[in-house]
Chains A and B, each alone.
With several copies, the nearest count.
Chain A
Amino acid sequence: MTVLYFAQARRVAGRAEETIAADAPLTVDQLWAELLNRHPDLAALRATSRLACNQQFAQTDTLIHPGDEVAIIPPVSGG
């Protein structure tokens, strides 16, 4: 799966994108655990950030499949 980082998340992760190899679907919590393992500083953003899967906000029970496009969405501020 591809993970996209935006705004503060991009700065904290130090990258805009990365690929995570997964054989099986991950829950949102499992994916966050993997991301925090790679980028511990993301912990500060977790409470306020949402996760999108294939350009839709993920729900608590969303399963993320290999090949999905995931994005970390910090609080938005458009307009």
Chain B
Amino acid sequence: MTAMDIAIRISPDVIAPPAPVASAQTGAVATFLGTIRASENGESIRGLSYEAYQPMAESVMRDILTALAAPHPCQSVLVQHRTGPVLVGETAIYIEVHAAHRAEAFALLAGFMDRLKQDVPIWKTDVIA
């Protein structure tokens, strides 16, 4: 088994990923976009602001992905997470997983999001009203 290719980008840049391009070995590509909704805890908002402890966030993401890849071997994963203000409708997080088969891609994707929300040092710090 070759190691999974991991790419992580934590930055204030707008997330606008191109359509995934599958390799000849890829059978399944699963993506997830977490986008900002117009209401947060029942209140109407214009956006949210994110803060990251960037080097640690990257290294924890990498640890989580590597741990998940053992039971759910995938070919590659790209994670992009924004920092700073993110407006309603924009993408705060984008994940793209390539695998031979869909079960592994889904498991890695869902497992990563669960762990992200427990252990990756990124915070919603402010509501943009």
* Cβ contacts under 8 Å, B50 to chain A: 78
* Cβ contacts under 8 Å, A10 to chain B: 51
| Residue contact A6 to B120, C-beta cutoff 8 Å | no
| Residue contact B116 to A78, C-beta cutoff 8 Å | yes
| Residue contact B53 to A71, C-beta cutoff 8 Å | yes
Q: How many A-B contacts at CB < 8 Å in the complex?
A: 57
Q: How large is the interface on A (under 10, 10 to 19, 20 to 34, 35 or more residues)?
A: 10 to 19
Query: Which A1-52 residues sit within 8 Å CB-CB of chain B?
Result: 4, 6-7, 10, 52
B97 at interface, CB cutoff 8 A: no
B122's partner among A52, A71, A76 (CB-CB below 8 A) is A76
A7's partner among B34, B56, B92, B125 (CB-CB below 8 A) is B125
| Residue contact B122 to A78, C-beta cutoff 8 Å | yes
Nearest Cβ in chain B — how far from A7, in angstroms? Answer: 4
Closest to B95 in A: A79
| Residue contact B56 to A79, C-beta cutoff 8 Å | no
A binding-site residues for B, Cβ under 8 Å: 4, 6-7, 10, 52, 55-57, 71, 73-74, 76-79
Q: Could you write out 19 A-B pairs with CB less than 8 Å apart?
A: A6-B121, A52-B56, A52-B121, A55-B53, A55-B56, A71-B53, A71-B56, A73-B53, A76-B117, A76-B123, A77-B123, A77-B124, A78-B52, A78-B124, A79-B34, A79-B81, A79-B92, A79-B93, A79-B117
